[in-house]
Amino acid sequence: MPKFTYTAMDSKGTEKKGSIDADNQGSAINRLREMGLFPTNLAEEGTGKRVEASASSAKGQPARGGGINLNIDIGKFLGGGGVKPKILCLFTRQLATLVDAGLPLLKGLNVLQRQERNATLKAALGDLAQSLESGSTFSEALYKHPKLFNKLYINMVKAGEVGGVLEVVLNRLAQFMEKAEKIKGKVKSAMFYPVAVLIIAVVILGFLLVKIVPKFEEIFKDLLAGQELPDFTRFVLGISRQTKDHFLVVIGSIVGLFIVIKLLTRTEKGGIVVDQLKLHMPVFGDLIRMTAISRFARTLGTLLSSGVPILQALQIVKDTSGNRIIADAVSKVHDSVKEGESIVQPLEASKVFPPMVVSMIDVGETTGALPDMLTKIADIYEDEVDNAITAATSLLEPVMIVFLAVVVGSIVIALFLPLIKIITTLGQQTG
């Protein structure tokens, strides 16, 4: 009988390793589930080959085509797969309302499937209903769609099922997702203005350098034959010639730089450097930090209040933090709690979280009201994000206007300096 080595998580979020005898991978996964373990890696001894669970081999396990392990692809907070966050948020709110009204979960899914217009979500709801009919729990059914329902979503549903408060957890999930979308929308709106102005400035600058400046250069050659142009004018004309003669190279360089930065953020070291720079950006650095802290507090508070064990909750928070610096701090907190220590010391040592946040978490942990305190922190920092966005917008408007004026004005001045010289020369000749 083949032997499989496994890495799994228990109900408390503690990692377990060992080996198990089974006829095949499906039997191994089912035996681990019966032991109360949730496998993350499974490999057959002697081959060194990792295997994956499929819907046919283990009931309630997610089908993952094209992979070689059991790691859950949590992706971004609200997942993907062709379903926008707003649609998934609306589905969760509607399902919470139906379950809260006393409608059976299976019937609620069938109702929502009939009225759903998004093809991807509609198909997923049909699959969820079939899984429930075959005897799977709702959380087990969700595991089959990791691209739609991430680890946070699934674990909160599982906690609600265990505690018999699924409708409460679904409501909390809906509220959480709505708040996350709200703050995400505010940050996007704050970034829109400077990005729009920057794009306009680049387009205007390119048009002037490629179309307008070369015509002035021809005029200067005719009217100032043999005379030397001002240094600033020659500098601008040089840039214009390079841009016009190597226009595709310039565009390619800009696109290449963007691609290099994107690839750099996908590496471990490069991502840490980029995320560190984000937290120290002028104007936007504080906004990004406050957004990350708000997400950390809201996510952890929602998970704990829903009954998810703290170690498991911290692992989920780490995976959904959106910033490697924050994720590293949460990882240290996880290790500290795993050793039976307090959550406060590693938070304070990370230098990422402000003293007020650390103090409030300390009070919440001491009084046994950590979920409520985390929710308060999230509320406070969401208000701070609102204020920061208002302040950033007020500051950026005049800064971007001045920036645009300086860019265009510099070119105009460079072109007018020779014209002034021409006018002066003509005046002297006629005088």
Q: What is the largest CA-CA distance in the chain?
A: 109
- Average pLDDT value for residue range 378-395: 82
Q: What does the pLDDT read at residue 49? A: 47
Whether the per-residue pLDDT at 86 is higher than 80: the answer is yes
Q: Which of 14-28, 36-50, 310-324, 375-389 has the lowest mean pLDDT?
A: 36-50
Amino acid (1-letter code) at residue 271: G
| Average pLDDT score over residue span 127-150 | 86
Give me the mean pLDDT over the 223-229 stretch: 71
The predicted pLDDT at position 12 comes to 55
Q: What pLDDT is attached to residue 3? A: 81
Does residue 320 register a pLDDT over 80?
no
How much of the chain, in percent, has pLDDT values that exceed 90? 1
Structural domains of the chain sorted by starting position, each given as residue range(s) with its CATH number in brackets: 1-71 (no CATH), 85-178 (1.20.81.30), 183-431 (1.20.81.30)
DSSP three-state, residue 104: coil
Q: Which pLDDT belongs to residue 234?
A: 85
User: Mean pLDDT throughout 157-166?
Assistant: 78
CA distance 284 to 83: 29
Identify the pLDDT of residue 56: 32
* pLDDT at residue 67 in the model: 35
Q: Which residue has the tokens 């290790």?
A: 335
Quote the pLDDT of residue 191. Answer: 75
> Residues 131-159: what's their mean pLDDT?
84
Selection from 128-132, 244-248, 273-277 with the highest mean pLDDT: 128-132
What is the pLDDT, as a whole number, of residue 280? 81
Q: What is the 3-state secondary structure (H, E, C) of 133-182?
A: HCCCCHHHHHCCCCCCCCHHHHHHHHHHHHHCCHHHHHHHHHHHHHHHHH
Mean pLDDT of 72-98: 67
Q: What tens digit of pLDDT does each residue of 412-428 get?
A: 888 888 877 777 766 66
pLDDT 10s digits, 59-83: 333 333 333 333 333 333 333 446 8
Mean pLDDT of all residues in the chain? 78
**Quick check: 429 pLDDT over 80?**
no
Q: Which long-range contacts (CB under 8 A, 24 or more apart) does 129-134 make?
A: 131/60, 132/105, 132/106, 133/106, 134/59
The pLDDT value recorded for residue 199 is 84
Q: What angle do CA 219, 223, 227 make, to 5 degrees?
A: 110
Supply the pLDDT for residue 59.
36
Q: Is the pLDDT of residue 382 over 60?
A: yes
Strand arrangement, sheet containing 15-21: 15-21, 3-9, 38-44, 49-50
User: According to the model, what pLDDT value does residue 74 have?
Assistant: 33
104-113, 272-281, 328-337 — which is least confidently predicted? 272-281
Contacts of 203 (CB under 8 A, 6+ apart): none
Please give the model's pTM, rounded to 2 decimal places. 0.61
Q: Identify the band that residue 406 occupies on the pLDDT scale cut at 50, 70 and 90.
A: confident
Q: What is the pLDDT of residue 15?
A: 67
Rounded to 10°, the helix 85-100/105-115 angle is 140
Q: Of the given ranges (224-228, 234-238, 392-396), which has the lowest mean pLDDT? A: 224-228
Rounded average pLDDT over 390-417: 82
Q: Residue 40: its pLDDT value, please?
A: 62
In this prediction, residues 375-380 reach a mean pLDDT of: 89
pLDDT at 212: 84
Alpha helices in 306-354 (DSSP H): 310-319, 324-338, 344-349
Looking at residue 82, its pLDDT comes to 63
> What percentage of the chain has pLDDT greater than the value 70?
86
Using one digit for the tens of pLDDT, what is the confidence trace for 27-63?
Answer: 777 777 777 776 666 777 765 444 433 333 333 333 3
pLDDT at 46: 64
Residue 162 confidence (pLDDT) above 50: yes
* pLDDT mean over 295-312: 84
Quick one: pLDDT at residue 422? 73
Which tops the pLDDT comparison, 161 or 120?
Answer: 120
Residue 10 is predicted with a pLDDT of 65
